[in-house]
Amino acid sequence: MREQTIQEEAGLSPDQWQPVDVSPIIPGVTSVGAPPPPPLSLGSHFVGSIPANIQHDATLVRTGLNTPNIPTFSLMPLGINASATNNSATQTIIRQGGSSSSSATIVTGSNIGGIDPRTTTTEKIGFTSEGKLVTLTNAGTITATLDSTVPVGFYVSVAVIGPGSGVLTPSTGLIDGNASLTLLSGQGTWLFFDGTDWEALLVGTVTSIALTVPPEFSVAGSPITTSGTLAITKLAQTAHLVYSGPSSGSPAVPTFRALVFADLPAGTGTVTSVGLTVPGFLTVGSPITTSGNIAVGLATEAANSVFSGPSSGGAAAPTFRALSAADIPGTLGTTQIGASGTPLTQISVYAFTFTPVAILANITAEQTFGAVGLTTADKVIVNGPTPTAGTGIVNARVSSAGVLALTFVNATSGTLTPTAGVYNVIAIRS
């Protein structure tokens, strides 16, 4: 099998080349009129009836005519479609200069790789951006037109790195079946041109994230199409429900439900008898062996009994008993009348029977009488029987415990005896 010529490998028809009177250069074979073969094999890419001035052009293959220098670039196009008019690997373009000329135009590009920064709000992406990363940086929206006159197989990457967005619109044709493609901040894409339309391969950013949760929860903020936070919260539940697996049967996802007897540990949940003991002053109806209420009541007590601790001695459980003097504080029962003075502790009324003795004329005389119950702390008021004419009581005092001293007056010129009888005494104690 013969080796393909460079025209055939490049996909070019022979009539696109101008014939020349130069023998083909074949590695390892010396041809008349051809330069000597290079010291190292150059491979089949050096085969073909291409004019010598092109085969050895210093711009294209870095060799000199009639020299054995080894070329540094392949003469064969290495692009995506192996097109001699668009070598996307080396960006070297060979165009025939004219139908009547044996020369060609050599165009070498250097736009493969690198970053192509764009900052205005209106941009155009074309041939000079091939193989590069076009960055869009602007606070607003950048409208970028995709030049659809670029060759088939053109590719470029675009990324929005500014706070704004980018809208990519082909000058003709569609992009991903649409009139335009919008990139948000932080998004990027690879773009490929098929000769009519553009295809985009988005990279770097998710366009939509949604979240689903079990029915006992709720979710807010879903879906997120740019940025945001997915917030999961608990839903309100009816009272007395618990979060549990199934009440019976095979395992299942938990839900909120009411407890059943099988949820309780063994030995719990059943009462056979409940009793209650209480102090003696209370009554109780117990035990309960099935269901019901334990009723506690008060036992009956004697009149004038109070629920109190012991009347003396150490602390003890309270019982119902009569009050004792020690139960009453020292100030209990005192009465304060007026802003000052000694408070009153007791006001008592006594009825005594006294028999006074005779009083000489025109004098006062104090007489004492027994009065049980009176003390020296008492201030007394005496209300006696109807007095004898010319006599009266001018003073009354408790001279000692149980003794009342009354001072009588005789305002006449003769001896008189005060009236004997019941004397009512009001004793005010303080």
Q: Is the confidence at residue 393, as pLDDT, over 70? A: yes
Q: What is the pLDDT of residue 228?
A: 83
Q: Which of the pair, 41 or 67, is modelled with greater confidence?
A: 67
Average pLDDT for residues 336-341, to the nearest whole number? 70
Average pLDDT for residues 269-275, to the nearest whole number? 76
Q: What is the pLDDT of residue 84?
A: 39
Q: What is the pLDDT of residue 39?
A: 45
Give the model confidence (pLDDT) of 98-150 as tens digits: 333 333 333 334 456 789 999 999 999 999 999 999 999 999 999 999 999 99
Average pLDDT for residues 83-91, to the nearest whole number? 37
Q: Where are the beta strands (DSSP E) in 161-221?
A: 165-170, 181-183, 188-193, 198-203, 217-220
Domains in the chain (CATH in brackets) are 1-110 (no CATH), 115-203 (2.60.120), 346-429 (no CATH)
Position 294 confidence tier, pLDDT thresholds 50, 70, 90: confident
DSSP secondary structure code for residue 359 in this structure: B
Q: Which of the pair, 311 or 168, is modelled with greater confidence?
A: 168
Burial 144-162 (b: 16+ CB within 10 A, else e): bbbbbebbebbbbbbbbbb
pLDDT-wise least confident of 107-116, 150-159, 342-351 = 107-116
pLDDT-wise least confident of 136-140, 225-229, 294-298 = 225-229
Q: Is the confidence at residue 80, as pLDDT, over 80? A: no
Q: What is the pLDDT of residue 409?
A: 94
Q: What is the pLDDT of residue 340?
A: 78
Q: What is the pLDDT of residue 163?
A: 92
Position 305 confidence tier, pLDDT thresholds 50, 70, 90: confident
Q: Is the confidence at residue 76, as pLDDT, over 80? A: no
Give the model confidence (pLDDT) of 5-14 as tens digits: 555 555 554 5
Average pLDDT, the chain: 78
Main-chain phi, psi angles of 407, to 5 degrees: -105, 120
Q: Is the confidence at residue 382, as pLDDT, over 90? A: yes
Decide: pTM greater than 0.85: no
Give the model confidence (pLDDT) of 241-265 as tens digits: 999 999 999 999 999 999 998 888 8
166, β-bridge pairs = 142, 183
Q: Which residues contact 303 (CB under 8 A, 6 or more apart)?
A: none
Q: What is the pLDDT of residue 5?
A: 58
Burial of 320 (0-12, 13-18, 19+ CB in 10 A): middle
Using CA atoms, how far apart are residues 247 and 272, in angstroms rounded to an integer? Answer: 25
CA 404 from chain centre, in angstroms, equals: 89
Main-chain phi, psi angles of 347, to 5 degrees: -125, 120
Residue 157 host element (H or E) = strand 155-160
Q: What is the pLDDT of residue 238?
A: 93
Q: What is the pLDDT of residue 12?
A: 53
Using CA atoms, how far apart are residues 180 and 403, in angstroms rounded to an integer? Answer: 128
